[in-house]
Amino acid sequence: MMNRKKAAFFDRDGTLIKDVSYLDDIKKIEVLPGVVELCQNLQQQNYLLFVVTNQSGVARGYFDEAFVQKTHAHLADIFAVKGVTFAKFYYCPHHPEFGHKNGYAQKCSCRKPSPGMLFRAAQEYDLNLSYSLMFGDRELDFQAGVAAGCASFWIQDVLKKYVKDM
């Protein structure tokens, strides 16, 4: 039990990058000010970094899972240049009301505010969720972190420490 690792979980849109409402082009990616510094600081404190993001645009037919994976690979590259490594990107392509045509319409345990993605990461990486953190910009992010037993934070409040102009 004592050897279990601690993690920092991040929502994607509105937390790591500017929320452009259903990101459908990687050229629209804009890393939010202060996020890289926060991630670097957490890594120095031996947190494993993860992204946990709802991507209902897949269920809605706006883009496919291959695009989500391509976007995450691109994000990993952007952050890697700054010395930041994400252990894994988790995403939920489902939506309880949309996606009947493509099979993504379902109520699932991975869609935030459910903590399924955090639980999956904990199992796959032997994480201690009670020593882990969740950062997000919406109530559902906060709720997912709390449900998983993590300390949860509003990214807007945390980034004020790293960006003076916020």
Q: What amino acid positions are annotated as catalytic residues?
A: 11, 13
Q: What is the torsional sign of CA 13, 18, 24, 29?
A: negative
Structure tokens at 75: 């994000």
What are the Cα distances from residue 84, in Å, to 73, 78, 123, 165?
13, 9, 22, 23
For 148, counting Cβ atoms within 10 Å of its Cβ (0-12 exposed, 13-18 middle, 19+ buried), the class is buried
